[in-house]
């Protein structure tokens, strides 16, 4: 059984890493997908968001207006903290349920939690390995401009609202350099998988898990 946290800043290439790990057989649990699920119409989380930030955060059909919410909270640490306090507990509960289901189905599974806000989460949680996707902020800024059509100021604001590179690197067991080509990233992921596969039959006294923060 292996529980791996995969984290990195926006536009850091986490999705490329997660896809490659899935090709090798890992079970991927996507924190961003869980966020969307817990914010579905009729959910307690969506009701709390509307109460905290106003009905203007909802579209006419009752769904969350993600663009409006993002514009409202990013660049405002107090608002972002309030939003995280609403969303994170629900995501933690659902992620734990997904982990348990994966290991119940296959006790030898490798479960990878693709989670952007690992550093930002304050709490406890056990990981067998923490993998950080790393590309410099200027590279990620340009990706947001080129690939997502963001204005430069918006891209920098989004990156600035997250943990710093130094904070993420400080908790890393493995760093995947994603500043180069996709092929280079995939080569590193393949090497990581070889390492994981080699550790799936641990010694009689395996190393304890690291205590690094809630899987949020």
List, as one string, the DSSP characters of 96-126. Answer: HHHHHHHHHH-TT-EEEEE-TTTTT--S--E
Q: What is the pLDDT of residues 2-60, one digit of tens each?
A: 999 999 999 999 999 999 999 999 999 999 999 999 999 999 999 999 999 999 999 99
Average predicted confidence (pLDDT) for the chain? 89
Distance CA 159, CA 1 (A): 33
Q: What is the pLDDT of residues 175-194, one digit of tens each?
A: 999 999 999 999 999 999 99
Looking at the domain assignment, is residue 179 inside a domain?
yes
Q: How many CA atoms lie within 13 A of 75 on its CB side?
A: 9
Looking at the domain assignment, is residue 67 inside a domain?
no
Q: At what angle do helices 14-24 and 182-198 cross, to 10 degrees?
A: 50
Burial class (CB in 10 A: 0-12, 13-18, 19+), 171: middle
Task: Report the percent of the chain where pLDDT is more than 70.
Answer: 89
For residue 182, give its domain range: 2-34+92-211
Looking at the domain assignment, is residue 51 inside a domain?
no
What is residue 131's three-state secondary structure?
strand
Looking at the domain assignment, is residue 48 inside a domain?
no
Q: What is the pLDDT of residue 75?
A: 79
Looking at the domain assignment, is residue 58 inside a domain?
no
Strand partners, 127: 210
Looking at the domain assignment, is residue 56 inside a domain?
no
Instruction: Specify the CATH number for the domain of residue 162.
Output: 3.40.50.300
Looking at the domain assignment, is residue 12 inside a domain?
yes
- What's the helix, strand, coil split of the chain in %, to 5? 50, 15, 35
What total number of domains does the chain contain?
1
């Amino acid at each position: 059984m292996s529980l791996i946290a995969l984290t990195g800043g926006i536009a850091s290439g986490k999705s490329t890493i997660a896809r490659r790990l899935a090709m090798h057989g890992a079970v991927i649990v996507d924190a961003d997908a869980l966020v969307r699920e817990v914010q579905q119409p009729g959910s307690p989380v969506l009701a709390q968001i509307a109460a905290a930030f106003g009905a203007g955060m909802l579209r006419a059909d009752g769904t969350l207006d993600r663009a409006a919410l993002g514009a409202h909270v990013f660049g405002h640490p107090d608002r972002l903290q309030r939003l995280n306090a609403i969303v994170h507990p629900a995501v933690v509960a659902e992620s734990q349920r997904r982990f348990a289901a994966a290991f119940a189905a296959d006790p030898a599974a490798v479960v990878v939690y693709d989670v952007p806000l690992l550093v930002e989460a304050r709490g406890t949680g056990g990981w067998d390995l923490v993998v950080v996707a790393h590309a410099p902020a200027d590279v990620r800024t340009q990706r947001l401009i080129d690939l997502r059509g963001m204005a430069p100021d918006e891209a920098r604001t989004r990156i600035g609202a997250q943990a710093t590179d130094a904070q993420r690197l400080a908790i890393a067991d493995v760093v995947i350099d994603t500043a180069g080509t996709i092929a280079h990233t995939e080569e590193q992921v393949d090497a990581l998988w070889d390492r994981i596969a080699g550790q799936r039959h641990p010694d009689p006294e395996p190393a304890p898990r690291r205590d690094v923060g809630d899987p949020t």
